[in-house]
Structure 1
Amino acid sequence: MSHQASTLEMSKFLAPILTLALSASITLTSFNTYAAKAVATVNGKAISQKTFDAYIEHKQKQDPKFDAKKGRNILIQELVNRELMYQDALKKKLDKDKEVVFQLKQQRIDLLIKHAIRKTMLATPITDTELKLEYDRRVKSANVKEFKARHILVKTKDKALSVIKELDNGKNFIKLAKAYSTGPTGKNGGDLGWFNSRQMVPEFSKAVVNMEKGKYTKTPVQTKFGWHVIKLEDIRQMDPPKFSEIKNQVRIIMQNKKLQEYMAKLRKKSKIKINK
Structure 2
Amino acid sequence: MSTIDPPAPADTEHALSVNGVAIEAAAIDDEIAHHPDAPDPRAAARVALVIRELLRQRAIGLKLIADGAALDDASLDRLLELELNVPSATRADCERYYTSHPASFRQNDIVFASHILFAVTDRAPLALVRHKAESTLQQVLRAPGTFEDAAREFSNCPSAKLGGSLGQLLRGDSVPEFERALFDTQDIGVLPRLVNTRFGFHLVRIDRRIEGERLPFESVEADIARFLGERVRHKAIQQYVSVLASRARIEGAVLGEVNGPLVQ
Return the index of the structure with the highest Cα Rg: 1
**Larger relative contact order (CA 8 Å, sep ≥ 6):** 2
Q: Flag whether TM exceeds 0.5 (same fold).
A: no
TM category, shorter: 0.3 to 0.5
Q: Return the TM-score normalized by structure 2.
A: 0.36
Q: Return the TM-score normalized by structure 1.
A: 0.34
